[in-house]
Structure 1
Amino acid sequence: MTISDDRKRKLDGLFKAFSIVADGTYVFVCDMQYNFSRWSKSAVDYFDLPGEYMEHAGEIWGEHIHPDDKDSYDESVDALFCGKATSHDMQYRTLSRDGHYVMCTCKGVVLFKVDGNLDYFCGSIRNHGLFGHVNELTGLRNKYGFFEDLRSVISKEQPFVVSTISLTHFSDINTVYGYEFGNLVVQKFARKLVEYIGNRGLIYRLDGVKFGVVSESLSIDELKAYYERIRSMINDGFMVDNRDIRLQTSAGAIAVDRFPVSDKVVYSCLVYTVGNSKRYRQGDMEVFDNRLTKENLDKLERLEAIRNSVAHNYEGFCLYYQPVMDAATETLKGAEALIRWQNDRFGLVYPNDFIPVIESDAIFPVLGEWILTQAMTDAKRFIEKFPDFVLNINLSYVQLKRTDFVETVKRILMETGFPTKNLCFELTERCRFVEKEILYAALMSFRQMGIKIALDDFGTGFASIDILKYITFDTIKIERIFVKDIAANEKEERLLGIFTDVAATFGSDVCVEGIETETIRDIVKKYHVNSLQGYLYSKPVSLEDFLAKYIDH
């Protein structure tokens, strides 16, 4: 339900009135009829919220609240919207955009219509953790100052470059020499950065041992050259308190030359690139290529639009479903849910073009919840006709790293009424970024709930035999690259035989993806394979098309 212009004007008027009297706090006003809110710009910036205007702001804000405080928060907000309470006054810890929890006090009241129905929820939030933008250890601007300056540079709409540099394996320094000495190393490295960059850019101490660089005068090539000089210096060693210290680094960068673009999208791209630098490029600077999609306009603009869509009730997002067929009977066995996004300007956008980057964004857990909820809601119609139907949903490593994710899944299962026996979570290649202990604990919880677990992309990257030693999988999914040339490549067929033998050894079923021709299907079916997936049966299709083809006919 879209808010009317008249209601929006009234909301803005209330917001202005509260802003005048709420000195030193963040203000919010929620139209309870439409669940549409306006929040202070300073709160949006500090906590990395989607925007000043938000639909379902309470749920989005709830994702930032510490897991130990969230139940009390949810209970209080539910009481407001159910009419059981008329005011809200509580303290909780809230995740800021720099990844740290700060204590906040939130106070609000409900305004009622003449007829007694809920009208507006208005209030203020005091941030007890806001005290300046300077890092005490290094004297550099901190992460909050970084974002403040980044927004200022963006507002000029002139080209600039921005980079993050991370010290890798720094915990070894603290372990060997102690934290006090580690602080000396951080101070020395910060001074070296300032010395090398000089007046050609601004240096920032971000969280942990990460540093930021913003320059309006350097090109990407020049920035890379400075980084290599710094990297060479610390690799060769530099003296700290009479000790010769050698460090390793990773770095990501982006040249921003198209506007408008938000600081949030720029930072998401930086997190993505510095991660790639560490994992795939041995510390070489990874530059985000914003020229990859010039035919569809710029990738940054698209990511900005996608991010805004999440904030506006997931506008443009939908789920497609690709059938999974029983290998023996070639009848419908289940389906994999796949996220899509589209709008009039950018057309249909596939997940590989935005998920790896938006995973780094604070808004991603909200989107992940929507995917789970929507997929289970849709699939309830499937299992009415096929009681043994299994819904496959891909999990992100970001979701699995969250301490409250298991409880989130339990809540969604309860809200949707979806049977756990009909649900299968797929682990993707990027789940290798989760610590084994955390991953194991989450998956064991899901298995105890009756949820099946599948290992996607077996044989590539993370999905190797190693993980089978400590996690039991119901299904191993063999990626299409291992069968696409199987008719002409005897080695591919041998590999398929090896993979199915490995699966049998560990008691796992096998699903083969990439079944695109009858020839591929016939060869694959010679082996111990339980299910098939691919274009021979169907490409991923919309919910309506899936229902028409498999459910309603």
Structure 2
Amino acid sequence: MNGFDKIPEERKRRLDELFEAFSVIGDDTYVYLCDMQYDFSRWSKVLTDAFGLPGEYMYGAGAIWEEHIHPEDRNAFHHGIDDIFSGKSGGHDMQYRARRKDGEYDVCTCRGIVIKDVSGQPEYFGGAIRNHSQQSHIDRLTGLRNQYGFFEDIRSHIDSKVPMRVCLIGISKFAEINELYGYAAGNSVLQGVGRYLMDHVGNRGGTFRMDGSKFAIITETQTYEDMESTYEGLRAHFREGIKLGDEYAPLELHAGTFALDDFTTDDQTVYSCLTYAYDESKFNKQGDIVEFCNNLRADNIKSTAKLHSIRNSINNEFDGFYLLYQPVVDAKTEKLIGAEALLRWKNDKYGMVPPDEFIPVLEKDPLFPVLGEWILHTAMTDAKKIQEILPDFIINVNLSYAQLERPDFTDSVWNIVKNTGFDPQRLCLEITERCRLLDMKLLNNVMTTLRAGGIRIALDDFGTGFSSIGLLKNLPFDTIKVDRGFVQKIEEDDRERRLVYNFTDAASIFGSDVCVEGIETSGMRNILKEMSIHSFQGYFYSKPVELGTIISGLKSELGEMCFKNP
């Protein structure tokens, strides 16, 4: 700095011109601009009036503004400004609380850049301050912006086409803290984590309190490596513990991150991708940060664009979605007894997108239960057409844990059953081993309620996870579906044969039927027919087909579609 040397009129005129240019694009923010040679600034008059600053023009505005910043936020602000004027930083992106003229604090986000002269020397520092408290987007517990502010900022970046990186961070097993220490202590933990995040994100982005024990960071400057380093620093700090009364409680974190540089998407799609990465960290990566990668490409279009189109399809009367049906046959007679409904999506731009590319992400989305209801309604309506020829036909429909955890899930199922006039005893709902993520008491209540009305429940992909036997032991399943991975080598591997034998024994103990998926050859079929297996499914019998194919096949076989091969 050059002290408070009086700024020449020509420099002041230039400052005013640039300030007016900044103001044009400032939208609903407070604009500021500083001539760094003289440390002379012009600030938005609305801001100076609201916060009781000396005036629109100020020498040493940084030091003046610092006095209005909350004492707990002041250190990070001070270092950020020092880095800018010393040449260490080319700008800042920070969040802090600032004191209004009436003594109350508002949460503000301040973003600014350094403008250099023709010789490459810093000449101006300017940017905008957004007052979030005016928009009712503040979390009362932590003082951070809340999730409404988070989504507002995401939309703002998309609309302005400004690249950013987002990170979602959560506290592991937070419910245990509330149980052990009480809710007041839990609130204290959230306040402490929020305060630490704001202090240590500092000059690199904004922080947000999301729902529950989740927090978020939005930054325009950090790379994945930067964010990984920031996160590892947070993990190390909180593993040392946060003070609760006379003791320290260690905290474990998990985090997902996502880089937004594709602006053909929306805030909800971004959050679905972010949540997918977050859950991977929580359930599969022991808390290591996980990045959602846009590596699903079609004609070089990133996956977020596809996901955005798929989400829009849900709102557009499910345009592009359709169901295929893979037959299920009786293991003894090899006649058709049912089919599994399988979701597909396609459009002119992307063609057919495989379900494993969008379902794992989409099931994190608030729209997914709506899609789930459409699948159930469509599957039951189609199945009734088959039942006109084959009355005992059973339709299997896959469920997501995102559907099962909804408090109105069973009501929605019964409403669809009633509206379609479907026989609930001909409906089988399949859940996967991932449902271990749900509260077991909740899941048991849901299954018991559905089965009491005649609906069957199947455990899909049996054997693929550590919890399959535990689920079978504790929950009332009508059928277990043995995953195809356990029978692919059954013709030459005696261990696979013994393993499937053990599965059938386990199922019989708990009164469940067995369906084996992935039957691809007559040899596999012949071996499995010697076991206590109820039904088969696989390409040996049929790939997933359209409804019309099943109906025409039944009609051609005079009411009995038989897959038995010579």
The bucket for the TM-score relative to the shorter chain is 0.7 to 0.9
Say if 2:455 is the partner of 1:451: yes
Of 408, 414, 430, the residue aligned with 1:410 is 414
The superposition leaves residues 19-60 of structure 1 with CA deviations (integer Å, 9 ceiling, x where unpaired) of: xxxxxxxxxxxxxxxxxxxxxxxxxxxxxxxxxxxxxxxxxx
For normalisation by structure 1, the TM-score amounts to 0.74
CA distance in 2: counterparts of 1:433 and 1:254, whole angstroms:
23
Which position in structure 1 is the counterpart of 2:268?
264
CA distance in 2: counterparts of 1:462 and 1:313, whole angstroms:
39
The superposition leaves residues 392-435 of structure 1 with CA deviations (integer Å, 9 ceiling, x where unpaired) of: 11111111111211111111111111111211111123222221
SS at match of 1:361: coil
Which position in structure 1 is the counterpart of 2:18?
none
SS at match of 1:541: coil
One-letter amino acid matched to 2:207: I
CA distance in 2: counterparts of 1:204 and 1:508, whole angstroms:
47
Deviation at 1:226, TM superposition (A): 0.4
Of 282, 297, 315, the residue aligned with 1:293 is 297
The superposition leaves residues 503-546 of structure 1 with CA deviations (integer Å, 9 ceiling, x where unpaired) of: 12222111100001111111111211111100011111122223
The superposition leaves residues 333-372 of structure 1 with CA deviations (integer Å, 9 ceiling, x where unpaired) of: 1100011011111111222211111111111111111000
Say if 2:136 is the partner of 1:132: yes
Which position in structure 1 is the counterpart of 2:503?
499
Which position in structure 2 is the counterpart of 1:350?
354
Say if 2:470 is the partner of 1:466: yes
Which position in structure 2 is the counterpart of 1:515?
519
For this pair of structures, how many residues does the alignment match? 424
Pairing 1:32-43 to 2, within 5 Å after superposition: none
Which position in structure 1 is the counterpart of 2:383?
379
SS at match of 1:308: helix
Flag the 1:464–1:205 CA change in 2: closer, same or farther, 3 A. same
One-letter amino acid matched to 1:386: L
Which position in structure 1 is the counterpart of 2:310?
306
Which position in structure 1 is the counterpart of 2:541?
537
One-letter amino acid matched to 1:511: C
The superposition leaves residues 467-487 of structure 1 with CA deviations (integer Å, 9 ceiling, x where unpaired) of: 222322221110000001111
Pairing 1:143-542 to 2, within 5 Å after superposition: 143-239=147-243, 243-293=247-297, 297-461=301-465, 464-542=468-546
Deviation at 1:179, TM superposition (A): 2.2
CA distance in 2: counterparts of 1:456 and 1:399, whole angstroms:
16
Which position in structure 2 is the counterpart of 1:24?
none
CA distance in 2: counterparts of 1:346 and 1:462, whole angstroms:
36
One-letter amino acid matched to 2:412: T
Q: Is the 8 A contact 1:264 1:361 kept in 2?
A: yes
CA distance in 2: counterparts of 1:472 and 1:170, whole angstroms:
30
Which position in structure 2 is the counterpart of 1:83?
none
**Cα RMSD for the two superposed structures:** 1.7
Structure with greater Cα Rg: 2
For normalisation by structure 2, the TM-score amounts to 0.72
CA distance in 2: counterparts of 1:186 and 1:506, whole angstroms:
44
Q: Is the 8 A contact 2:298 2:350 kept in 1?
A: no
Q: Is the 8 A contact 2:399 2:431 kept in 1?
A: yes
One-letter amino acid matched to 2:534: N
The superposition leaves residues 194-239 of structure 1 with CA deviations (integer Å, 9 ceiling, x where unpaired) of: 2221111110111111101001111111101100011111112344
Q: Is the 8 A contact 2:296 2:357 kept in 1?
A: no
CA distance in 1: counterparts of 2:460 and 2:534, whole angstroms:
15
Q: Is the 8 A contact 1:157 1:260 kept in 2?
A: no
The superposition leaves residues 412-466 of structure 1 with CA deviations (integer Å, 9 ceiling, x where unpaired) of: 1111111112111111232222211111111111111111111111112266111
CA distance in 1: counterparts of 2:374 and 2:242, whole angstroms:
49
Flag the 1:345–1:294 CA change in 2: closer, same or farther, 3 A. closer
CA distance in 2: counterparts of 1:192 and 1:184, whole angstroms:
12
SS at match of 1:354: helix
Unaligned regions of 5+ residues in structure 2, if any? 1-133, 558-566
Unaligned regions of 5+ residues in structure 1, if any? 1-129
The more displaced of 395-404 and 322-331 is 395-404
CA distance in 2: counterparts of 1:217 and 1:287, whole angstroms:
16
Which position in structure 2 is the counterpart of 1:126?
none
Flag the 1:477–1:296 CA change in 2: closer, same or farther, 3 A. farther
One-letter amino acid matched to 1:218: Q
SS at match of 1:279: helix
Deviation at 1:326, TM superposition (A): 0.9
SS at match of 2:465: coil
SS at match of 1:450: coil
Which position in structure 2 is the counterpart of 1:11?
none
SS at match of 1:476: strand
Q: Is the 8 A contact 1:167 1:248 kept in 2?
A: yes
CA distance in 1: counterparts of 2:372 and 2:539, whole angstroms:
26
The more displaced of 398-407 and 233-242 is 233-242
CA distance in 1: counterparts of 2:242 and 2:385, whole angstroms:
65
CA distance in 1: counterparts of 2:458 and 2:369, whole angstroms:
21
Deviation at 1:160, TM superposition (A): 1.3
